[in-house]
Structure 1
Amino acid sequence: MENLAKDNISKLLVKYSIPAIVAMLVTCLYNTVDRAFIGSMEGVGAYAISGLGVTMPLFTLIGAFGIAVSVGGSTNISIKLGSGEKEEAEKLLGNVFALELIGGFVVMVVGLVFIDDILYLFGASENTIVYAKDYMSVILMGAVINLSGFSLNGAIRADGNPKLSATIMIVCSLLNLVFDPLFIFYFGFGIKGAAIGTVICQFITFLWTTYYFTKGKSNLKLRMKNIRLQKKHVIAILTIAITPFCLEIVTGSIHLVTNKFLQGYGGDLAIGAMTTITSINLMFLMPIYGLSQGMQTLIAYNFGAKEYVRTKKILLQGMFAAFVFLSIGFLLTRFFPNMFVNIFTKDAELEKICLEGMKIYLMTLPLLGVCVLGPIYFQSIGKIKQSIFLTLLRQVILFIPIISIVSKILGMKGVWMSQPMADVLAALIVGAFLIKEIKSSTKNNEIEKEVV
């Protein structure tokens, strides 16, 4: 068994990051497939992908509840299993499942009843509402199985079977590659076909995870008597869930704010262009999120062991790896932009807007390693206030005021420029926080050695 406080840092980073990176890439593939096939729909692809962009704030808000309850439940289940309280862990599993079932039902009913109002609020127009509604109405009908299946997949990791959890994600993502073109083009369902393919994959996840916890070789069992809300367990779940929920809500709000500015200064196709550009951006950012998960375990362990020099080395090696990878991404998108844009659209007008926007929007891609990994460092050493502040810094504290001011001065160009401006400022501030913290921990380490 490896020694996290002694073994080679580079090897440990690879070992602990690769599974998370694979999982993140699979998630990225899941989202990219829908957008790529929708964008390739002949004659309507440009407005269809714009319609998909309109649904992103709502999609994120639904996901916020699912992710939050899953994280809150899985964390509590892990704690109970660690303390040998299997019966309590099973009660928590039942409460998580019940919460997601109820939440999914509420989302489905409210979403379907007010779908037009919601989509117009999120930036839909007369040109894009039909595509946004076709896609989201199907997604909403699958909300119950989506949220409950997602929560059980998270619980599989807590149950001690992360490989199965990753396998389910990978298999369903690959199936989505088959279902999307089948329902979009062969059956002629258009954008609604993409949603049908996604919901079918979510249903397979639901069946697979439910079988695992009822008939499979799970440590915990999902029992009917436990599928009910119990105040004690609900409070325990929601106490931990509040932080990821708020962060996901912030993400959804950013989509909403951005869509409003895009609609105002560039119209429907500008929203489609942003959907395309952010999809390209995620191709390179997802591995960095995976790297951050591997780093988090190693930094937390070494900080707890007071190995502050190793903690600093893990951070620096992780940031160097992120910088190299993101710099490669920057060069690829700079010299071969059409190759990436054409994955999502062949429409000449939309392609032109994408290319103009991508050149500006992705100019700070190499800096994003600092913005992503810096907050994770503070989270890993238990400094949650700094972590939350730095997490919100780039996309909320800086981005919203910048886009509000710069877009008024420069119009659509200002909308594209706002994110890189926020990235530069965020990287500088995060960097300053990290330097101060590393100096402080190094000084404390020297004092402790002198005392010893």
Structure 2
Amino acid sequence: MKLFKETALNAEQNYTRMTEQPVTSLILQLATPTIISMLITSLYSMTDTIFVSRLGTQSSAAVGVVFSIMSIIQSIGITLGQGSANTVSRLLGAKKRTEANQVFSTAFFTSMGLALVFTLFGLAWTNSLVRFLGATPTIAPYAVSYASVILIGAPWMAVSYTMNNNLRSEGKAYLGMLGMASGALLNVILDPIFIFGFGMGIKGAALATVLSQGVSFCILFSHFLRKRSNLNLSVRQVRLKWWIYRDILTVGAPSLFRTMLHTVSAICLNVFSAPFGDQAIAAMSITTRVMQFLNSALIGFGQGLQPVAGFSWGAKRYDRLIEAFKFCVRTAVVAFTFIGAICFAGANYIMLLFLSDPAVIAIGTVAIRYQCILMPLSAFNTLSGMVFQSTGHGSSSSILALARQGFFFVPVIALLPSFIGLSGVQIAQPIADILTFLLSLAYILPFLKKLRTLASVG
């Protein structure tokens, strides 16, 4: 139970904990709630996909199309959240608490404002937006119905990610888990009630998601109102200063690139799957949800590394940073080798959880198996990018984020289907993962060498 229990610590006690507690136990303590939070949070899209799939192939595909809209909303909250969180962790490591409060408050209200602008834009051009995102004429009506509700919840959905990341940055991941997990579990309950009980169909799934995210927002916000956090949230702390946005965007840019490129890759996946029918779009959409669910555990584990890396870098404890990264890589590679093997063997049964359409199952089974083979490399890629991000090396992290879903994936999926048909769509992501692994090695090995030099000097 120690992994789940967090004793209330003042700022000085928290600093000592983050810089002196043994790395292995500290990362596990921080990572456990974030892994649970990420897994349960990913149930938002997973649950919607499972229940909506019962309405038919077009409905299932529509959720995949609107996933791009949800990715944009998330990108706002995660960019400002991770950008401010990693900046905050380094400021707390350097004992600059006033600046940490200013960074967090500025990120909070900026996130809300940008998400509101996106809501207004999306509601004004919903039809054009879903067609741009890859909806076919038969899928578009379902996508519009789903998106029109999801867009309303964008402001509190985005801000929830910002608050969750900042709670994690100060070592209070458990509080973030409570908020995100509560909303996700509520979504599981509301989905069948609204979709089938009230006969609302795909619009009911969207309403369940928006209401559940609203509950998450309220719980997360209450942690700051009740002073459970060492960070002070106030509009009076907002500073529209260049150094704050520079630091947030420098560190948050990799998250922006990563989430926006997920959107781009999702659009490409829909567009290049479309020639092979609605079944192909539905199958690849389900594959994306499944891999997102599995990777959410990896991201949660990496988020346990990030505050340790940020504090260690800010406190000039380079030895702890090296130890933390090596521990996380070893653990993640072994774990995802095992998970990948299980999912490879059970890929057909995983697809059956969503649809009984034989064509969808056949396409999705092959796609899941290809991606499962490369899961250990994906673990290394993700952790490499996250350690650069948490230590303020935004350019390196941005390049690695751009590589997987941009530099490599987009050209591969644009070219391969024209040569080898549907198989080109199914193997595009694994090929991108291999190329990203090679690039990650080229970046991380010199960085580790630099850390060893700094540690020896210190």
- Same fold by TM-score, threshold 0.5 exceeded? yes
Q: Is this contact kept in 2: 1:76–1:237, CA < 8 A?
A: no
The code of the aligned residue for 1:166 comes to M
Give 1:331's aligned residue.
Answer: 341
| Higher mean C-alpha displacement, 119-128 vs 431-440 | 431-440
Is it true that 1:273 corresponds to 2:283 in the alignment?
Answer: yes
Alpha-carbon distance between aligned partners in 2 of 1:221 and 1:101, rounded to the nearest angstrom: 17
Contact 2:33 2:173 in 1 (8 A): no
Q: TM-score, normalised by structure 2?
A: 0.83
The alpha carbon displacement at 1:9 in A equals 4.5
Aligned equivalents of 2:323, 2:85: Cα separation in 1? 30
Secondary structure, aligned partner of 1:142: helix
1:414 maps to what in 2? 424
Instruction: Name whichever of 134-143 and 345-354 sits farther off.
Output: 345-354
Deviations 1:148-175 (A, max 9, x none): 4554555666788643332111111111
> Residue 351 of structure 1 aligns with which residue?
361
> Does 1:180 pair with 2:194?
no
Residues 263 and 270 in structure 1, CA contact (< 8 A), matched pair in contact too = yes
State the alpha-carbon separation in 1 of the partners of residues 170 and 310 from structure 2: 22
Alignment check: 8 A CA contact 2:374 2:433 kept:
yes
Within a 5 Å distance, the mapping from 1:32-431 to structure 2 comes to 32-41=46-55, 44=56, 46-71=57-82, 79=91, 83=96, 85=98, 89=101, 93=105, 96=107, 98-152=109-163, 162-210=173-221, 226=236, 231-232=240-241, 236-237=244-245, 240-241=248-249, 243=253, 244-264=255-275, 266-300=276-310, 311-431=321-441
Cα 1:132–1:339 change in 2 (3 A) is: same
Farther-moved stretch of structure 1 (119-128 vs 58-67): 58-67
Show CA shifts across 1:316-375 (max 9, x none): 332221122111222112211222112222222211221132233333122211111122
Q: How far apart are residue 13 of structure 1 and its match?
A: 3.3
How many angstroms apart in 2 are the aligned matches of 1:75 and 1:8? 21
Structure 1 distance, partners of 2:382, 2:421, is 28
Q: 2:40 aligns with which of 26, 38, 47?
A: 26
Bigger Cα Rg: 1
Cα 1:379–1:413 shift into 2, 3 Å:
same
Give the Å deviation of 1:219: 6.8
Distance 1:421 1:210, change over 3 A: closer
Structure 1 unaligned regions, length at least 5: none
Instruction: Give the aligned partner of residue 8 of structure 2.
Output: none
Aligned sequence identity (%): 26
Count how many residue pairs are aligned between Structure 1 and Structure 2: 439
Contact preservation (8 Å) 2:101, 2:232: no
Q: Which letter does structure 2 place at the counterpart of 1:181? A: P
Q: Quickly say closer, same or farther: Cα 1:359–1:240, change in 2 above 3 A.
A: same
1:325/1:144 Cα in 2 relative to 1: closer, same or farther (>3 Å)? same
Q: Distance in 2 between matches of 1:441 and 1:219?
A: 30
TM-score by length of 1: 0.84
| Aligned Cα root-mean-square deviation (Å) | 3.5
Separation in 1, partners of 2:168, 2:39: 18
CA displacement at 1:238 relative to structure 2 = 6.7
Q: What is the CA-CA distance between 1:247 and the residue it aligns to?
A: 3.4
Q: What one-letter code is carried by the residue in structure 2 that aligns with 1:26?
A: I
Q: Give how far 1:250 is off.
A: 2.4
SS at match of 1:375: helix
Could you tell me how far apart the structure 2 residues matched to 1:206 and 1:440 are? 41
Counterparts in 2 of 1:134 and 1:427: CA distance versus 1, 3 Å = same
Contact between 2:160 and 2:217, CA under 8 Å: does it hold in 1? yes
Of 50-59 and 398-407, the range deviating more from structure 2: 398-407
- Output the CA distance in 2 between the equivalents of 1:22 and 1:165: 10
Conservation of the 8 A alpha-carbon contact between 2:34 and 2:173:
no
Q: Compute the displacement of 1:299 (Å).
A: 4.2
CA distance in 1: counterparts of 2:244 and 2:171, whole angstroms: 21
